[in-house]
Structure 1
Amino acid sequence: MMEEKIYESFAENSSNVSLFLFTIGPVQQFISQARKTQDLFMGSFLLSYLTFIGMEEVIDRYGPKSIIYPNLSAQPLMEWHLKRCNINRKSSISSFIDQPTIPNRFVALIPESEESKIIKLAHKMEDIVRKKWKEMVDIVLNKFKLIDKIRLDKKDEDCNAVIKKQTLDFPEIYWVAMPFKKDGRYITEEDFKDFFEEVQKENVGLIYHLGYSALEKSMGIRKNLRNFSQINEYGKKCNICGTKEGVIKAGMGSLQVGKYISEKEALCIPCFVKRALDKYLGDKVDGKFIDYTFPSTAEMASSNFKKRALKDAEVQFNAYIDDIKKIVGENVLRQIQVKPLNKIEGDFNNVVNIEGEWFFEENLCTENIKKQFGIEIDDKEIEDLRKSLKQITDKVGEPNPYYAVVLFDGDNMGEWLAGKLLHNFEHIYGSDLWNKLPNKVKEELKTSIKNKLLAPTIHSLISLSLRNYSLEFVKKIVEDDHLGKLIYSGGDDVLAFVNLKDLFEVMRRLRAAFSGHIKIENNEIKVDWSNNTGFVEKDGKLLLTMGKNATASCGVVIAHYKTPLKMVMDKVRETEKKAKSNTEKDSFAISLLKRSGEEKIIVSKWKYGDMDVLEILKELSYLFRRNQSGVRISRRIVYTLAEEFAKLKDKCGNYIAETGIINTEIKRVVLRAVDTVSGNIGKEEKKNISKEISDVLKNLYHKYDDDIDNFLKLIEISAFIGKEGE
Structure 2
Amino acid sequence: MKTLQLTIGPVQSFVSQARRTRDLLAGSFLLSFLSGQAMAEVLRRGGEIRYPLVHDENKKILDPLLQAIYDGETPKTSLSAGIGSLPNRFQAQICKNTHPKEIAEAVDCAWKKVANAVWKKVFPNGCPEATKTIWDRQVDEFWEISWVMGNDSSLLSRRKYWHSHFPPSEPGDKCTLTGNLQELSGFVRSREPKQQQEFWESIREKKWISAFDLQENERLSAIGLIKRFYPLVAEEALEWKLPKGALNFPSTGYLAAMPWIFSRRKEQQEEMRNFTQLAQQAKIMCSEDPGHEVDSKFYKLEGNAFFLSNIQRENYWREHGWEQTSEEKAALQKALYQSLYRLTDEGKDTPSPFYALLLMDGDQLGQLLDDQGEKVSQGLAQFTADLPEIVQEERGFTVYAGGDDVLALFPLKNGLPAAVRLRQAYQRAFADISSEASISAALVYAHYKAPLQSVLKNAHELLDDVAKRACGRDSLAIRVWKGGGPVWTWSCPWQEALKGQTDQSVLETVARQIQGEQAYTPSFFHHLRSRLEPWHDPDEKDQKTYQERIQQLLVAEYRRSNGTATREQAEERMEALMSVCLEKWRDPHKNIQTGRFRTEGALIAHFLATEGRGQD
Q: TM-score range by the shorter chain?
A: 0.7 to 0.9
Moved more, 220-229 or 596-605: 220-229
Identity %: 25
SS of residue matched to 1:556? strand
Partner of residue 226 from structure 1, selected from 142, 163, 167: 163
Counterparts of 1:493 and 1:619 in 2: how far apart (Å)?
Answer: 28
Quote how far apart the aligned CAs of 1:693 are. 2.7
Counterpart code for 1:576: L
Counterparts in 2 of 1:470 and 1:378: CA distance versus 1, 3 Å: same
Q: How much has 1:483 moved relative to structure 2?
A: 2.9
Q: 1:305 aligns with which of 244, 247, 260?
A: 260
Equivalent residue letter for 1:338: E
Q: Structure 2 vs 1, CA of residues 101 and 661 (structure 1 numbering), >3 Å: closer, same or farther? A: same
Using the TM superposition, give the Cα deviation of residue 43 of structure 1 relative to its aligned residue in structure 2, in angstroms.
Answer: 0.9
Q: Is residue 2:437 matched to residue 1:485?
A: no
Matches for 1:160-559 after TM superposition, within 5 Å: 160-178=132-150, 212-213=151-152, 216-229=153-166, 231-247=168-184, 250-253=200-203, 254-255=205-206, 256=209, 258-282=211-235, 287-289=241-243, 292-309=247-264, 313-325=268-280, 327-328=281-282, 332-333=283-284, 335-340=285-290, 342=291, 345=292, 352-365=299-312, 367-376=314-323, 377-394=328-345, 397-419=349-371, 458-472=372-386, 474-478=387-391, 480-516=392-428, 534=431, 547-559=434-446
- Distance in 2 (alpha carbons) for counterparts of 1:587 and 1:275: 35
Q: 1 CA distance for matches of 2:165 and 2:70?
A: 37
Which SS does the other structure have where 2:201 is aligned? coil
Distance in 1 of aligned mates of 2:501 and 2:569: 20
Q: TM-score, normalised by structure 2?
A: 0.83
Q: Could you tell me which amino acid in structure 2 is paired with residue 239 of structure 1?
A: T
1:509 offset after TM fit, Å? 1.3
Distance 1:551 1:378 in 2: 55
Q: Deviations over 1:148-183 (max 9, x none)?
A: 22x4xxxxx4554332112111221122234xxxxx
> Which deviations, in whole Å up to 9, do the C-alpha atoms of 1:245-298 show, x marking residues without a partner?
111664224545612212121110111101222023248566434582112111
Q: Which residue of structure 2 lines up, in the alignment, with residue 429 of structure 1?
A: none
**Contact kept in structure 1, 2:499 and 2:506, CA below 8 Å:** no
In the alignment, is the contact (CA less than 8 A) between 2:583 and 2:596 conserved in 1?
no
For the residue of structure 2 that corresponds to 1:139, the secondary structure is helix
Contact (CA 8 Å) 2:275, 2:336: kept in 1 or not? yes
C-alpha separation in 1, matches of 2:4 and 2:533: 60
- State whether residues 183 and 221 of structure 2, in contact with CA within 8 Å, keep that contact through their aligned partners in structure 1: yes
Corresponding letter in the other structure for 1:504: L
C-alpha separation in 2, matches of 1:383 and 1:632: 36
* SS of equivalent residue, structure 1 residue 226: coil
CA displacement, residues 83-128 of structure 1 (integer Å, 9 cap, x when unaligned): 6479x9x5xx664332111001221123x23xxx232xx2332222
**Which residue of the partner structure matches residue 454 of structure 2?**
567
Which AA in structure 2 matches 1:587? Answer: S
1:67 corresponds to: 49
Deviation string for 1:185-244 (max 9, x for gaps)?
xxxxxxxxxxxxxxxxxxxxxxxxxxx11xx34423432333445534432111122222
Cα distance in 1 for partners of 2:509, 2:267 equals 24
Q: Tell me, what secondary structure is at the counterpart of 2:50?
A: strand
Task: Tell whether the 8 Å contact from 2:144 to 2:165 is kept in structure 1 after alignment.
Answer: no
Question: For residue 695 of structure 1, what is the aligned residue in structure 2?
Answer: 575
Please say if residues 624 and 635 of structure 1, whose CA atoms lie closer than 8 Å, have aligned partners that are also in contact. no
Decide which of 124, 127, 142 is 2:102's aligned counterpart.
124
1:54 aligns with 2:1: no
Counterpart contact for 2:361–2:404, Cα < 8 Å: yes
1:367 CA displacement:
3.0
Residues 219-228 or 572-581, more deviating: 219-228
Taking a change above 3 Å as real, the CA distance of residues 632 and 108 of structure 1, as seen in their structure-2 partners, is farther
Matching residue of 1:579: 467
Give the match's secondary structure for 1:394: coil
Cα deviation, residue 405, structure 1: 1.8
Closer, same or farther: CA 460–616 of 1 in aligned 2, 3 Å:
same
Which residue of 1 is the match for residue 190 of structure 2? none
Residue aligned with 1:373, SS: coil
Q: 2:64 aligns with which of 76, 87, 95?
A: 76
How far 1:80 moved relative to its partner? 2.3
| Structure 1: 5+ residue stretches without partners | 1-16, 152-156, 179-211, 420-457, 518-532, 536-545, 676-682
Shift of 1:418: 1.9
- The one-character-per-residue Cα deviations of 1:38-63 (angstroms, maximum 9, x if unpaired) are 22211110110011112111222326
Q: Distance in 2 between matches of 1:167 and 1:369?
A: 34
Q: Does 1:138 align with 2:116?
A: yes
Q: Secondary structure at the match of 2:262?
A: helix
Residue 18 in 1 paired to residue 2 in 2? yes
Distance in 2 between residues matched to 1:576 and 1:224, nearest whole Å: 22
CA RMSD of aligned residues (A): 3.3
Deviations 1:300-328 (A, max 9, x none): 22122223226784543343112212x32
Over 3 Å counting, the alpha-carbon distance change for 1:78 and 1:597 in structure 2 is closer
Instruction: Determine the structure 2 residue equivalent to 1:594.
Output: 482
Shift of 1:689: 6.0
By how many angstroms is 1:567 displaced?
1.6
Residues 247 and 267, structure 1, Cα contact 8 Å, conserved in 2: yes
One-letter code of the match for 1:174? Answer: S
SS of 1:109 mapped into structure 2: strand
TM-superposed deviation, 1:610: 4.0
User: SS at the partner of 2:54?
Assistant: coil
Tell me how far 1:389 sits from its aligned partner: 0.6
Q: 1:643 to 1:495 in 2, by over 3 A?
A: same
Asked whether the equivalents of residues 148 and 159 of structure 1 are also in contact (C-alpha less than 8 Å), the reply is: no
**Secondary structure, in 3 states, of the residue corresponding to 2:445?**
strand
Q: Contact 1:406–1:554 at 8 Å: present in 2 too?
A: yes
Partner Cα separation in structure 2 for residue 370 and residue 610 of structure 1? 49
Aligned-pair CA distance for 1:36: 1.8
1:29 positional shift = 1.6
> Is the 2:72–2:239 contact (alpha carbons within 8 Å) kept by the matching residues of 1?
no
Secondary structure at the counterpart of residue 264 of structure 1: coil
Structure 2 counterpart of 1:72, one-letter code: V
Partner secondary structure for residue 375 of structure 1: coil
1:504–1:617 contact (8 Å) kept in structure 2: no
Cross-structure match for 2:194? none
SS at match of 1:575: helix
Counterpart residue type for residue 275 of structure 1: R
Counterpart CA distance in 1 for 2:6 and 2:486 is 43
Q: Residues 648 and 224 of structure 1: is their aligned pair in 2 closer, same or farther, counting only changes over 3 Å? A: closer
Aligned residue number for residue 508 of structure 2 = 618
Aligned partners of 2:472 and 2:493 also within 8 Å = no
Larger radius of gyration: 1
Instruction: Give the drift of 1:674.
Output: 6.5
Query: How far apart, CA to CA, are the structure 2 residues paired with 1:282 and 1:635?
Result: 56
Structure 1 window deviating more from structure 2 (100-109 vs 313-322): it is 313-322
- Distance (whole Å) between structure 2 residues aligned to residue 147 and residue 324 of structure 1: 36
- CA distance, structure 1, for counterparts of residue 535 and residue 138 of structure 2: 61
The DSSP-based 3-state class of the residue aligned with 1:97 is helix
1: CA distance, partners of 2:26 / 2:562 = 46
CA contact (8 A) 1:649 1:655 kept: no
CA distance in 2: counterparts of 1:468 and 1:310, whole angstroms: 39
SS across alignment from 2:399: strand
